[in-house]
Each structure stands twice: as structure tokens, then as C-alpha cells.
Homo-oligomer: A and B are copies of this chain.
């Protein structure tokens, strides 16, 4: 038997979402609940996939099934397609598994032809209505199905109105509209070289194909990429008998939510327009009425709607978003779905539904999407203000939140003005570790280069500052100290607004709304914590970040990057002295200066953590990052003076640090292999700090020492030996012993492949998925922007592998390493500390492969807690 590609509404149900799409499944469910739904049928998502497989044609079997379903629907309606007495008309709508705004618009009134329009006029006894419907249909079909510019139709309409001296479409009479229809058909013919199709079945097939095609239009592709929707899902098509909300004052159409989607308040919320079709509501010419007023206008219809809404919410156990039409006093339901809502509303509804006894706590957790929390934790733009604000550029949404203020092009200027309570935006080509103070004083950071794991992105997320990076629309003119955006020149002090959640940059100051967290948040997060198995740590390098993260629920630090402590002005001199040393003795002398500073940092961290664990990563970046660029003459001269070298010598030393591919150069544990004294100093700093804080505060501290960039067991053994030997000395000196663990990052493909060997020496693994992604794909995060655009355009990649873990490639290495690691050390502790540790889909993957914890920037900790809970609950559900 042939596969079933078409389902009548009464043949489906809400569980058939994958096959029928969300809209189709819910229309079927409402039908089966006995609700008043205009009948029709759904062409399945599998038909869409088949359409693409067949080279964008609809095969005979599918055509046959559509016509069969059409015949039954006609019979139920008691009408005929193209009939000149009582013509059957349908709407055609797309409906994917997940709601997808990027896709095809609705087509209404399909089935109207020169012949059937007369039937409609006769049947409704309303010629104006019939020709109005016909002209709307021709324009909609031409635009949506045939891609003829809408403006040409609008121009004709304007011409008729002008000629008649009226303002609104509705002021045109039947004769006018007949004239409009003729002109519209002429436009169609001029573009397509054939007459406007007069066979409703041909109209229907073209419309179905247009829906299928719209699955692959650029907006849909972009939306899918942003929302992690696979490209091979396809869309369903819903064909439904038309009902008319524009048949007079006892007709109307509207939308409603069972609860307020902005606040979550439990109160029917929505609006309607009398004597209107859906597009009139959207057009915004007339102002819709609040739904409460329907109670007066049509009390019985209102009561029927309230009953249906209540029943639907109870049935779906969630807030519903409904569309309905009233045709001559009779209510029809056109759609229901779980309503979109703000983060605040999501929290309140979830918590209320638990209190109302509708949902279990775990079910409630699944009602709040982890990513939504961002908008609760960061300032946002006022929604109305945003609508009017002019977008002048777009970049990567690197760190969520909103920032508005005066732009400055150097971190120094940003810091200076920020200190004076001015709201500032730091705008740079890219940021470097030296810019940290300026970033901290900024409302937002905007850069021309870099990706989702660039310095600006990582640091901004850590600070909770909004950031848009890789914004290629910025053109810097260094001589003039200006930046040109969208053709306009901006000077320091000019105002812009930056939306780190969308990547948009706006001209001028857009009003912002502060972050706010309600009591519902704490309750829901409590339920999430009870449900999750993954622990959540944070990536933090300063006591302030650590404190913030602990407030957000972090259970420890998964990544403390020791080098970030090296950049402070007071320390960089000693760090540079170490780097430029000629001998081990000189290096040790410089390290001796750094030791007390680093030890002090660790002491402060351990105090903030109050006994929570901290993984300290040893020095990782290539050393050239710490020295001035060759063109920074002043700094070099000072350096030479301080260190007793000639300027030429300093330049030569800096030159010698140059690498062809620094990302794959002398960094990570390679530094500890060539200069074991650095690892010695860092071991002293960690252990002495732990001992001091233990003595002072009594916390039971078990230092976790993490060796970065390990590629082989012997390499780890070498550094571990330095750590162990130093520890022995420290313990002897201090007359006190501590437990400590030595583990490694897994961030080099070879480490993943040989993880069974490495685990013999490593007490824990932390997956450094930023570097692992770079090495596994063989592309550098700093350079990939040049070609990733083409990869998205050509559908080679659907998401940014630096933001969302590539489970098919990088993920396989993670899984392999986890399995191999456990094969030789069954109790090995496994975590992730790459940027993916804060990404919900990546966290679900970490749960699946059995990691012990994820570690992410402080402001992502709540998201990670919630995502971890989702993963655990969904796993339970799947069992």
C-alpha cells in the first residue's frame, strides 16, 4: 500500500506533530475534542521531504491523495470547488513541527475564479464581499505563490481609491472591485505570460508547492540556524475550509491567550476585530477590541469561547494561543498552540500551574526554556522603544543584554568616562587582555572582528556585559579617530545602543529595562536543581566573578585561567621580565616576584568559594600575548630600561616569540615542559594559598590542578612530576599536607584518541571544547569568520560550532575520550569548560555522555542549571 501522505483533520491527533506539523496536529486534536473547527486536511511533512527528493515536484501518488481528501472535504462542507452556486473555498497554511515565523504566509480564499466568484456573490447575496475576496486572493496568490511584487497590486488599489476620492479599501463598491480584479489579473498575465489560473485544483497544487518551497527560503534557513531546527524536518501544509469573519457586524476574527503572555497573569488575554479577515488585524488600519468586550457584543459566543479556551488549556496543560473566526454569529476555532511568552511569564505560569495542581514540578521545569533566562539576568531594551529604533549594523550576538551609551574607541577612554558615571560603549576592532578595565566600565562592547569565542565575547559573557562582535559593518578611520557605520561617521561621544541578544546595533539611545528576578525564579531553579544530575561550575578568574557565580548557584569553579591574573598593570612588568629572561636563573628571579601576587589571588578565590572546589588551569597562552607589539615604541623603551636590555635586544626577543600559527604553537603545557619553573611557581602559589586559607578559615580545600593542552600521557607525566615534586617541598616547608588532584584538559584531538593512556595519570578530564573544536575542524576561531558565511549560505553548516557543540564530530571525540578515560580510571571526574558549557543543547549532550559537571561563565550558570535539569527530565521521560 502506498504511504499515507494526506490526513483528514479527523484522522490525526496532537501526538502526530512530526508528521502533521504543529498546526495540523492541533487542528486534528480540536476536531476530535468536538470543537468547532472548519474541516480540511493536512499534507504531511513526509510529502515535503518527498517533494525535495523528487527534484521539487509533487509526485502522482501525493497528488491523488490530495484530490481524494479534497473530495471528502467538499462533501462534508456540501460545496464544490469552482462552483457557480455554492463554491468551496479554502485557506492554505504552512505548519512545521516547530513554529517557524520565517516561512510562507497564509493564502486565503483559494478556489475563487471568474466563475466561482459569481457563485460566492449569489450564495452570500453580497457581490461586493465576493469581489473583495477575489481581489484579495489574486493579490495574495500572486505575491506569495508566484512572487509578483505586492506593490504593483497596492498601486492599482491606490489608483482606484484616488480616482474615487476615498481613503479606505472598504469604501470601494462591487463595480470598483470588479475593475480592480481585471487589473490584478492583467498584472498576473504581464508577469507570468499566462492567464490567472481558473482551475481551483491548479491553484491548490501551486499553493502546496509554494509552501514546500518556502521551507527553503533564506529567512526560514536563517531562522532554523538561529533556533537549531534541522533542515530535513520539512513542513506540512494545511488545507482548510474558509470561514469568513468579514460578512458583517455579526462576523469577526481574533486571537487570544489563556493567560497574559507578558506577565503570566491568569486571565484571558486577546483581541478581535468585527467584520474583518485575518489580514486586516495584521494590517493595523483598524484598532482591535480587547476580548473582554466580546462579552457584551456577543455574550453566547464569548461564553462558548471562554469554555473552549478553558478546556484547551486543561487539555494541553499549558497556556494556549488561539485564533478564531466568527462567521455570522457562529464561532470557529482556526488554531491553538502553546503560547509564546516572555521569560517572566514563563516562570509565573510554570509556578502557577504547579500551585494549581496541573503540573508536577519537573513538568514545570520544562515549561521554561533555559535560553530564556538570559533576558531575566541582563538589562533589556524596552520593547516599544526598540520597534522605533533604527538598526545601523548587525554582528554576532556574543553576550546577551542591552547597552546604550556614548562610544569610545580605546579601553582607556571608556574607563575614564565610565568612572565619571557616563554610560559608555567600547567600540574596537577587537579586544585584548589589556582592555579588561575599559570593558568593565562599559555598558556594552562592540567589535569589528572575532567570533563567539573571541576575547571580547568570552570576557563580556564572564562580566555579564552585552557584546556584539564580528560586526563587519564597522569601518575604522584611525587617523580621524572615527568609525563609519552604515555610511554615517561616528565620533567618540556619539550615542549608540547595542543588543547583545540579537546582534543588532541601533543609532542613538534606546531605553533599557533593568534585569529583575522574581521569587518564582528561585522556586523553579530549586526544582531544576532537584532534577538535574550534572553539577554546574563556573569559569571565573577573579573573586568578583566567582562571587557572582556562587550567587547564581555555581557549585565551584571549573576553570580558573591563571594567566588572566597576569595582565594587571602592576604585574605585567614581572611577567615580561620572566618571558624575556635569557636563563633559568633570570626566569626564576622574575617568577619569585610573581609568586606572592598569584598566591594572593588564589587565597582570595578560595575565601570567596568557602570550600567549594576550584580547578586551576596552569599558564596556557603563547607568551607573545604578554609582550608589547613591535610598534609600541614607548613600551618597548621602558621595558628595555627596566630589564637592562637595549631596545634592539628587546625587539629581537619579541620577534623570536613570533609564531606562524600561535594557536598551535608554544603554549599550554608546552610552556611547562620547556620552563618547568613556571609550573613550580604555580604549584607553590596554589598549594600555599590553599594551606593558608585552610589554616585561617578552616575550609577543607582539595586543590585541583589542571594541565592544559596535553596530547600524550608522557607529556602530562612530565608536568605532573614537577607538580608532585614541588608539592613535597611545600608540604615539608609548611609542615602540613593537603590532598590535591592533578588532571588535564582534553582539547587536542590526540588527547581524546589516547585518553585511556592519559587517564592513567589524570585524576580528572576537563573538555576544552573551544580548542578541541578548532583542532578537530582545523579552523582557527579568529579566521573562520572569513568563510563561515559561505558555509551557512550553502547549508554546509547549520550552526556555529563554536557556540553549539558539533556533536557529530567534536562530540564523537568527547564521547570517545569519556569512554576511554573511564576504561582505565572508572572513577575519573569528567567536566567541560569550553564555551559550550553554557549552551543548552551542548549541556544535554554532556548529560547524555555522562559527564560529571559543566562549567560556564557566571551569567550562564542559571541557564546551565536549568538545561541540566531539562536533560535529566527528558531522559527520564524517554525511558
Contacts and interface: CB of A to CB of B under 8 A. Distances in A.
Contacts of A665: 779-780, 783-784, 786
A605 B445 CA distance: 55
Interface string A64-104: 00000000000000000000000000000000000000000
A809 interface: yes
Contacts of A709: 778
Contacts of A161: none
B780 A659 contact: yes
Interface of A: 659-666, 670, 673-674, 709, 711-712, 714-715, 718, 747-750, 753-754, 757, 771, 774-780, 782-784, 786-787, 790-791, 794-797, 806, 808-810, 812-813
Q: Closest 10 A-B residue pairs measured CB to CB?
A: A661-B780, A660-B782, A664-B780, A665-B783, A750-B809, A749-B749, A748-B778, A661-B661, A659-B783, A714-B796
Pick the most buried of A709, A757, A779, A787: most chain B CB atoms within 10 A of its CB.
Answer: A779
Nearest to A231: B714
A711 B664 contact: no
26 contacts: A660-B662, A660-B663, A661-B662, A661-B663, A661-B664, A663-B664, A664-B779, A665-B779, A665-B780, A666-B783, A673-B787, A673-B790, A673-B791, A674-B790, A709-B778, A712-B809, A715-B791, A715-B796, A749-B776, A749-B809, A749-B813, A750-B777, A750-B806, A753-B809, A754-B808, A754-B809
A200 to B, nearest CB: 38
B774 A750 contact: no
Contact of A666 (B661, B775, B786): B786
A518 to B, nearest CB: 44
A449 to B, nearest CB: 10
B777 A711 contact: yes
B666 A787 contact: yes
B779 A753 contact: no
Given A674-B787, A749-B749, A790-B673, A778 B771 contact: yes
A662 B783 CA distance: 8
Contacts of A780: 659-661, 663-665
A749 B771 contact: no
Given A666-B783, A714-B797, 11 more contacts: A660-B663, A664-B664, A664-B778, A664-B783, A673-B790, A711-B778, A711-B809, A712-B796, A712-B797, A754-B812, A775-B775
In the complex this chain forms, how many copies of it are found? 2
Contacts of A786: 659, 665-666, 674
Nearest to A816: B753
A711 B808 CA distance: 11
Contacts of A748: 776-778
Contact of A750 (B666, B776, B790): B776
Nearest to A750: B809
A786 B662 CA distance: 12
Nearest to A790: B674
Contacts of A757: 808
Given A754-B808, A754-B809, A796-B714, A670 B787 contact: yes
Nearest to A787: B670
B660 A794 contact: no
Pick the most buried of A714, A747, A783, A813: most chain B CB atoms within 10 A of its CB.
Answer: A783
A673 B674 CA distance: 40
A782 B661 contact: yes
A533 to B, nearest CB: 27
Contact of A794 (B662, B673, B777, B778): B673
Contacts of A662: 660-661, 783
